[in-house]
Amino acid sequence: MSTPPIPPAQGTIVLPSTTMKAGLSIRSILLIRLLLVSVASSVVVGLIGYVNGRDSLRDAAFNRLVEVRDSRAREMQDLFDTIESTLLLNARGESVREAVQAFSAGFADLEGRELTADERATLQAYYTGTFGPQLASATGATVDASTLVPTDPAEAYLQLNYTAKAASFADAIAVDDAGDGSEWSQAHALYHDYFRRMTELFTYEDVLLLDTKGNVVYTAYKGVDLGTNLDTGPLQRTNLAAAYSAALTGNVADTVEFTDFADYPPSLGVPAAWAVTPVAVDGTIVGALAVELPVAAINQVMTGGGDWEASGLGRTGETYIVGAQDNLMRSASRDLIEHPDDYEKQAIEAGTPPEAARQAVETGNTLLVQPVRTDAVSTAAEGKTGTNLAVGYLGSETIAAYAPLDLHGLDWVIVAEIDSSEAFAPVDDFTRNLVLSSAIIVLLVSLLSLVIAGVIVRPVRRLRDAARRIAAGETGVQVDAGTSDELADVGAAFNDMSRSLQVKATLLEEQQAENERLLLSLMPEPLVKKYKEGAQTIVLDHQEVSVLFADIVGFEAFSRGLPSEDALEKLNEIIRAFDEAADRYGVERVRTTRAGYLASCGLTIPRVDNARRMVDFAMELERIAERYGGKHGTSLSIRAGIDTGTVTSGLVGQSHIAYDLWGDAVNLAFQLQGTNRDSGIFLTQQVVDRMPDTVHVRDWGFVNTATGPQKVWRVDPDDVHAGVEA
């Protein structure tokens, strides 16, 4: 036989049980299913978008590099085509033809002029004292400059009068005539400006004229190659000699021989490349025109004028040329230009010989210095064009677009590359945004499922949460229990109970605030705190406190005959003005009676200038009294005593407590005020010692105290009246 359920006690509200039963609730099941669907769909969509987006962005990065590579290759082709066409055009011009013949004749005329001993010594001093040390410094090798002194009479003569006399290449190219009167100098004065303009206009490193015997009969910069013979002299193994030989061997005009960069001693360690074309007159070869290829122009093309970002190479991208045979750079490195200190460290760490990296930093150029042995260069050297993702020449992972670069027979390759971290930054951003958006979708679906699942139990939960808030001490709690009749009745009863509790709590708070205000009006905050904590004996000692005791002279006569209520109202009006002045001057009122006004400064808030503040306050009280007396047609003034010293404050009494202040300073202030029948502000010596010179005092004799006579001073009434007038 089953036991019948026990009914709840009368007046008891029974809420639904919150005990978890076996299994999951409907809310939990719904939440889990919504989350599974949302996460699964987000993952599928995200994977598809990630694969497609990543491949598209990677292809875009490679395509951008291919565009930059091809653009630079076209510009280099244009540069070399321009050099070729310019050389052919100049070689056909009358100025160049006449110049080659004139310089060749002038050079032949100088073959019979031997230098004197002094002149030879001067030329030798130039080689051993200037050119030799410069060449040794540029190459890092020991140079015996005495072996380089020219022996050919014409070569020696020209270098003595032009090369040795110039302080620099800039000075050499600026000279039109050495003034020696030779046939060669006459030709130089006539044609030099033409070739100087050619050099400067096309930024050539140098312009040379050669005769058919291999003699360098003219150079724009007048280096040590002036007058040398390319067939028999010290430059016979240079790339210039090879290009000259190839140009004249064919005995065909309108051809240009280009050379790769190679060491060229007259350039002081700077590699040189040449373009040489024969010069013909009436079908007969009379010499050759040679230009040293413009390194600056090549770098200008490959660096995009130094504006890599504008050309689509970002913060780390660059384009450069590499020799297919020696794997050495033929153009400048961006890292060397922008970050030379970091470049040396990175280059050495990537395998570049330390002396090569150091040379690149010292010369500011990677031409024939920086090795580039990367997959991109080796593949391009095989004649292939393409892109790859591999380690760059400075050790960082890069994406590169490479291709062979066929420039008039030069075996070069061109590479455009950029750090993979920068190139694939859009891919990383896309991935990050995709993950973030997927997380947001999951979060939104989770929140939505929580909202849906919570709709069913929301009314009961509101009632439960409201009860907990009231139990925690919160007031004014109201609930909306829904539209169900039973829950609406419970909610209404609950809201009535909450409002009743709120009214009682508000009344209690107001009463507590009023009590707090009354306590603060009677005593300082530290004493209020101790009083509220239940201390039995409340007393505080204070150092360096200024005390004022004052009464209003003439008020008794003024109020005599007035009704008590009117007299008290007039007194309170003055006291209110005193209290307002106390607030302005940082003075604390202790107590007020009809017979006197007791105040302190530096008691609750320590102040280093408490004496000055108290005297200023006393003078303000005098002004208030005078203004009040003038308003009511009577004469009122202040009689105040001020002292500075140690005082004690505390609560006196048990059932009827009172806040009071006592001590020697209080007694002396009271005595100063009480022993003087005249109105005025009376100060002790301690107060005077702390006053500025702007306050004038008068000697007012002595007052007898328990510790002996005390000097008394009175504030000059003129100071007080001056304040009134102001």
Q: What is the pLDDT of residues 199-253, one digit of tens each?
A: 999 999 999 999 999 999 999 999 999 999 999 999 999 999 999 999 998 777 8
The pLDDT tens digits of the residues spanning 367-409 come to 999 999 999 999 999 999 999 999 999 989 999 999 999 898 8
* Number of domains within the chain: 2
CA distance 532 to 173: 100
pLDDT at 471: 78
Greater pLDDT, 624 or 170: 624
At a CB cut-off of 8 Å and minimum separation 6, what does 366 contact? 329, 331, 332, 333, 336, 360
Per-residue DSSP letter, 503: H
The pLDDT tens digits of the residues spanning 557-566 come to 888 888 989 8
Average of per-residue pLDDT across 259-288: 92
CA distance 385 to 201: 34
Over 50: is that where the pLDDT of 5 sits? no
Helix (H), strand (E) counts: the chain:
23, 17
Return the minimum-mean-pLDDT range out of 145-149, 418-422, 533-537, 629-633.
Answer: 533-537
In the chain, % helix, strand, coil (3-state, to 5) comes to 50, 20, 30
> Are 605 and 544 contacting, i.e. CB atoms less than 8 angstroms apart?
no
Residue 419: φ, ψ to 5°: -55, 135
At a CB cut-off of 8 Å and minimum separation 6, what does 376 contact? 388, 390, 400, 401, 402, 415, 417
Single out the residue of 401, 388, 394 nearest to residue 313, CA to CA.
401
CA distance 526 to 39: 62
> Are 550 and 621 contacting, i.e. CB atoms less than 8 angstroms apart?
yes
Q: Which of 262, 297, 332 is the last residue of a domain?
A: 297
pLDDT at 509: 73
CA distance 32 to 289: 86
Q: Which of 297, 327, 350 is the last residue of a domain?
A: 297
Name the pLDDT band for 487 (thresholds 50, 70, 90).
Answer: low
Q: Are strands 680-684 and 637-652 parallel, antiparallel or unpaired?
A: parallel
Domain-located, residue 394: no
Domain that holds residue 106: 93-297
Domain-located, residue 712: yes
> Are 271 and 263 contacting, i.e. CB atoms less than 8 angstroms apart?
yes
At a CB cut-off of 8 Å and minimum separation 6, what does 561 contact? none
pLDDT at 291: 96
Identify the CATH number of the domain in which residue 267 sits.
3.30.450.20
Identify the CATH number of the domain in which residue 547 sits.
3.30.70.1230
Greater pLDDT, 434 or 576: 576
pLDDT at 245: 93
CA distance 35 to 441: 10
DSSP symbols for 247-305: HHHTT-SS--EE---B--GGGTT--B-EEEEEEEETTEEEEEEEEE--HHHHHHHHTGG
Give, for 520, the enclosing helix (H) or strand (E).
helix 485-522
Q: What Rg do the C-alpha atoms of the chain give, in angstroms?
A: 53
At a CB cut-off of 8 Å and minimum separation 6, what does 13 contact? 490
Over 60: is that where the pLDDT of 9 sits? no
pLDDT at 323: 94
Domain-located, residue 358: no
Domain-located, residue 674: yes
pTM summary value: 0.57
Domain-located, residue 395: no
3-state secondary structure of 412: strand
The pLDDT tens digits of the residues spanning 31-56 come to 677 677 767 776 777 777 777 767 78
Identify any residues that bridge with 650 across adjacent strands, giving them in sequence order.
539, 660
> Are 291 and 275 contacting, i.e. CB atoms less than 8 angstroms apart?
yes
Q: Three-state SS across 29-90? A: HHHHHHHHHHHHHHHHHHHHHHHHHHHHHHHHHHHHHHHHHHHHHHHHHHHHHHHHHHHHHH
pLDDT at 275: 95
The pLDDT tens digits of the residues spanning 339-370 come to 998 998 999 998 999 998 898 898 888 999 99
Domain-located, residue 469: no
The per-residue pLDDT of the chain, averaged, comes to 83
pLDDT at 711: 87
Over 50: is that where the pLDDT of 707 sits? yes
Distance of CA 22 to the CA centre of its chain: 60
Name the pLDDT band for 336 (thresholds 50, 70, 90).
Answer: very high
Residues of the chain with pLDDT > 90: what percent?
38
Domain-located, residue 217: yes
CA distance 358 to 372: 16
Per-residue DSSP letter, 328: B
Single out the residue of 412, 390, 400, 380 nearest to residue 317, CA to CA.
400
Domain-located, residue 351: no
CB-CB neighbours of 95 under 10 Å: 13
> Which amino acid is residue 477, in one-letter code?
V
Greater pLDDT, 527 or 136: 136
The pLDDT tens digits of the residues spanning 55-98 come to 787 888 889 999 999 999 999 999 999 999 999 999 999 999 99
Return the minimum-mean-pLDDT range out of 154-168, 281-295, 475-489.
Answer: 475-489
Q: Is the dihedral of CA 24, 26, 31, 34 positive or negative?
A: positive
Over 60: is that where the pLDDT of 647 sits? yes
Name the pLDDT band for 511 (thresholds 50, 70, 90).
Answer: confident
Identify any residues that bridge with 90 across adjacent strands, giving them in sequence order.
none
* Cα angle for residues 345, 349, 352 (degrees, 5° grid): 90
pLDDT at 656: 63
Q: Cβ-count burial of 168 within 10 angstroms (0-12 exposed, 13-18 middle, 19+ buried)?
A: exposed
Can you read off the two tokens belonging to residue 219?
Answer: 């150079």
3-state secondary structure of 676: coil
Q: Which of 261, 279, 297 is the last residue of a domain?
A: 297
Over 60: is that where the pLDDT of 456 sits? no
pLDDT at 139: 76
pLDDT at 428: 73
pLDDT at 3: 43
Q: Is the dihedral of CA 482, 484, 487, 488 positive or negative?
A: positive
> Are 160 and 141 contacting, i.e. CB atoms less than 8 angstroms apart?
no
Over 90: is that where the pLDDT of 514 sits? no
pLDDT at 94: 94
Q: What angle, rounded to 10 degrees, do the helices at 26-92 and 94-109 form?
A: 60
pLDDT at 31: 67
